[in-house]
A and B are shown apart, each in its own frame.
Chain A
Amino acid sequence: MSGGDAIPEFPKSKSGAKAGDGHEVSLTNLSAFASGPGIRSGAEVAAIIAVAVVIIGGIELALRLFNVPHYIMPGPSAIAYALYDEFPLIAPHLGYTLVELVSGFSIGAIIGLVMAAVITQFPFAEKIVAPYILILVTTPMLALVPLLILRFGFGYTPRIIAVALAAGPMVMINAATGFRRVDSAKIALARSYGASTLQIFWKIRAPMALPMILVGLMIGAIFGLLTAVGAEMVGGGFGLGNRLTTYSSMIQMPQFFAVVLILSTLGILIYVLFFLIGKKWASWEA
């Protein structure tokens, strides 16, 4: 009976509708990685390869010309050979790192998604939780690794926890931004057919949040990788991070750079994975 609801935000004019529509808001976020400069023609591919050849060849040439010793900066050829030669030895460590990354990220992402979905349903709870989320997001979770090692030993456990702690909040704040994109007209549409709160969540809010969720998952995965490698560098005898400290302590710089190469490849794969998922499932926004 009492009209307790607030004034609905209808698009008053055409321009107002465009600004307040909600589904263009995160375009900047997503398109930053989704619709960046795409590679289209063979000539462009050729140009990119040519630039790579020139740079790599140039570095190789310069290092040889100036007789730079291997322990200061190994040449690209030496790194490539080390990657080929040492890969059977590095591969298990890549596996360990991937286990930490995938399990930690999955745990963190699920908790982050659920928390985002729940708190955005309760604006009051969100207000109270917000500062703590900010602390979680801004604190480098690496700082907790020594403590986690003290408590859980040198195995997988502290690393997985650290990865989850790093990825979770990233997923959560981005997903929350997505869930907060309320489009009153679309929710009214669902309600006009008698949709339940759950139906509105799954059929309106979740798809609408998906682009932002994907951004969160990508950032979370990258932060997870960072934290996994960092944690491996702090302690424990396995993982790619551990290889970095080991090789550098033994001044095996070609092997060291081979591991760096593997890590950047991992990072790029994460990016490409979410880019492709976004293209498949969230392209309606671009």
Chain B
Amino acid sequence: MNAGSAKTPKLGVQDATKIYHTVSGDLLALDRCSLDVHANEIVSIVGPSGCGKTTLLWSMSGLHRLSSGTIRLDGREITGPHPDIGIVFQEANLLPWRNLDANIHFPFEIKGEKPDRAWIAHLVHRVGLDGFGGKFPRELSGGMQQRAAIVRALALKPSVLLMDEPFGALDSFTREEMNRLVDEIWLDTKTTIVFITHSIEEAIFLSDRVVVLSARPGRVAKEYRVPFPRPRSLEIMATKEVFDLTNIIKMDIVGERIRPKARERGTAEIVRIRP
């Protein structure tokens, strides 16, 4: 299902380096981080907190300018926000003074386009928000807010969806529900998804590949191909293979946390687990 490495990646990150200039000195957040995401793929990025996951995602979206390195969408370098890239933020990030309909129409308003009502109705139905258009964000649960945010992100039909720890604030049941929803939406749209998460289970459940970032400065430390067919059932998620992979990734992250200096600067290592 994944494009071969010879093909141009959907989203290519090449030597992404980001330095924040602060009063207490310069801070290297990303250090020559390279990552290719292929069309129709779901890639999760995990790593110790503060490793630059969000910085990487925001750079991929064009919201952050890199200090050096390039982001390429379909082979073409992007230097700012791109209409073909949708973002789902941490905590739904809905505008509290607008009801759900108005929130979902926000992208069209900014673009000065007429909202694609049929598509929006389809998405709203898909995420199960029928009849909630007149509600304000504060009247909805966190899960429903994030559903609306997903609809908003997909409203302009982006070919890449970047999700920045979208379900971190939700309880574990709602989170599992949302994970299944992302799976369904992917089956429906085949949107390329880059997913940042703290939850290794979530990463394994959703993605074709799990990328482990090193402790700051962030770069790709490890990369795992998840060998189970998608969509994944709860039965598969309960197998020993998944359990083992979870633990391996967990050890990687723990290792990154306690031994940031001992990190090698080699290329990413791909480990395969037999299904």
Contact = CB atoms under 8 A, between A and B. Distances in A.
A14 B81 CA distance: 27
A17 B90 contact: yes
Interface stretch (A111-119, A189-197, A214-222, A262-270): A189-197
Nearest to A2: B67
Interface string B110-144: 11000000000000000000000000111000000
Interface string B153-190: 00010000000000011000000000000000000000
Nearest to B18: A3
Contacts of A282: 97
Interface in A6-25: 6-8, 10-12, 14, 17, 23
A203 interface: yes
Given A11-B90, A17-B169, A207-B95, A5 B64 contact: yes
Contacts of B80: 194
Nearest to A187: B63
B95 A7 contact: no
Contacts of B20: 3, 5-7
B87 interface: yes
Contacts of B81: 191-194
A51 interface: no
Interface string A155-185: 0000000000000000000000000000001
Given A3-B21, A17-B90, A194-B83, 20 more contacts: A1-B65, A1-B68, A3-B19, A5-B64, A6-B22, A7-B20, A23-B96, A189-B89, A189-B95, A190-B110, A192-B63, A193-B83, A193-B110, A194-B81, A194-B111, A203-B106, A204-B95, A208-B97, A210-B97, A282-B97
7 contacts: A186-B93, A189-B87, A189-B106, A193-B83, A193-B107, A199-B110, A203-B106
Interface of A: 1-8, 10-12, 14, 17, 23, 185-186, 188-195, 199, 203-204, 207-208, 210, 282, 284-285
Interface of B: 18-22, 27, 49, 54, 58, 61-68, 80-81, 83, 85-87, 89-91, 93, 95-97, 106-107, 109-111, 136-138, 156, 168-169
Q: Which 7 pairs, one residue from A and one from B, show the smallest C-beta to C-beta distance?
A: A193-B110, A3-B67, A284-B97, A284-B96, A7-B20, A207-B97, A195-B110
